[in-house]
Structure 1
C-alpha cells in the first residue's frame, strides 16, 4: 500500500515497505523532474517531528504568523482560549471597524485547528459572527491568540 499526497509542487509519499517506496520514487523520477528531500519535516504549514512512538504534528510557525498578522505578538498569554462569560449575541455591541481583517484572522485560526483541537470550540463560536462582526466578537476572538502565546508548542 502506498499514499501520495500532492498539493501544487509539494509531494508527500509513503509506502508500506521501503522497497515499494523506492520503486515509486524511481518511477516518479523517470517521469518528472523532482528531487527527494528525505523524511517529511514540513508540509502545508504543518511541522512534522519524528518520535520513537510516531509523529508529532504542530503549527508553531503558523501560529507565530497569526500573532504577527493580528499585531498580538507581545500580548500577555491567557490560560484558556475562551472566557467563562456567557456567549455573546449576534447583535450585541457596535459593528467592528475592520470586518475583513477580523475574517482573515478567524480564517487563519480555522486552519490552525488541524493540529489544535483545543481551539475548535472557540474558533467555531467566533466563526458564527464572521458575516457581521461586532466589537464584542473582536474581544472574544482576541483571547484566542493570547491563549496561543502560552501554548505554542501544543499539537497532535
Structure 2
C-alpha cells in the first residue's frame, strides 16, 4: 500500500514523494477488510469453516471435537466442546496474534452473561437503564405492555418533531435492546416505520415502549440445555394492517429445544390480497430462518 507523503512530514519533500507502508495503518479505510481477511485466513488454516448465515461466525468440527468462534472487530468469543480443545485453539491463535485471554465471558457488546448449571442468562439491564437515563425516564411509571390495541399510527398524523435525530437515536437503541428482549420486537418495528419523518404522536408511542422497558429492564433471556434439540417455529401475520401502504406485518419466533434463538417482526415486501396469503408469506419467512439456522 502506498501513501502520498505530505510536505509537512519531511523537510524539503518533493510533491511526488511517497512512502511504502510495511503494514496497514489502523484507521485506514482498507484496514478493517485487511484485518478480517488475515484473521479469517488463519482460522481456515486451523480447520475452521465460515458459517453460511453469518460471515463473522467460524465453526470447527473434527470427529467429536466442535468449536464456535465469533469475531466482532477485535473481540472474540470462543466456545468449544472440551477444555483441551479450547486451550489448543487459544495457543494456535497466540502464535499469530497478540491476544489477551479474559476468561469466561461475563460481558460482551453491552450484553451481560450469567452461567447456571442449566445454561445461560443474557441481559441488557445496564443498557436499558442507560436508554431510560438518556430520555429522562428513569423514574417513570412502568407499563405492563409495550403497545396498546391501537399500535399502528399513520406517518402523516401529528406534528413533526423539532429534533428528529433524537427520535432516531432512541429508536435505534431500542432496536439493539431487542437482542435480549423479543417482547419488544413488534413495538420497536412499528416505531422504526417513522424514522424518516418522526412526529409527536410517534414519540408518544415510543414513550409507551419506554414505560414498558422501565418495568421489564431487569428481565433476561434464558438459553437452556435441551436433551431434544429440535427446531420449532411459530409465525403470525395480520392482513393489510399498515394504515399508509396497506402492507401486512409478519412475525415469527424459532425455538431450539426449549431456548428461543431467533425472532423477527417486520413489514411484508408486497401487499397481500387476502389474509391467507399474508399468513403463508409469514410461514415462508419463518421456514427460511429455520433453514439458515
Q: Is the strand fraction higher in 1 or 2?
A: 2
Confirm or deny that 1:138 pairs with 2:206: no
Cα separation, partners in 2 of 1:19 and 1:86, compared to 1, 3 Å: closer
Confirm or deny that 1:110 pairs with 2:175: yes
> 1:57-76, aligned counterparts within 5 Å?
57-76=122-141
Tell me the distance in 1 between the aligned counterparts of 2:133 and 2:149.
26
Moved over 4 A (4+): none
Deviations 1:56-112 (A, max 9, x none): 111111111111122211211111111233521111111111111000000000011
Unaligned runs of at least 5 residues, structure 2: 1-65, 222-293
Confirm or deny that 1:97 pairs with 2:153: no
Tell me the distance in 1 between the aligned counterparts of 2:153 and 2:209.
15
Please say which structure displays the higher CA radius of gyration.
2
Which residue is 1:41 aligned to?
106
Tell me the distance in 2 between the aligned counterparts of 1:39 and 1:68.
30
**Shift of residue 120 of structure 1?**
0.3
Tell me the distance in 2 between the aligned counterparts of 1:38 and 1:120.
32
C-alpha RMSD of matched pairs (Å): 1.2
Unaligned runs of at least 5 residues, structure 1: none
Q: Is the helix fraction higher in 1 or 2?
A: 1
**Shift of residue 54 of structure 1?**
0.5
TM-score norm. by structure 2 comes to 0.52
Q: Relative contact order (alpha carbons < 8 A, sep ≥ 6): 1 or 2 greater?
A: 1
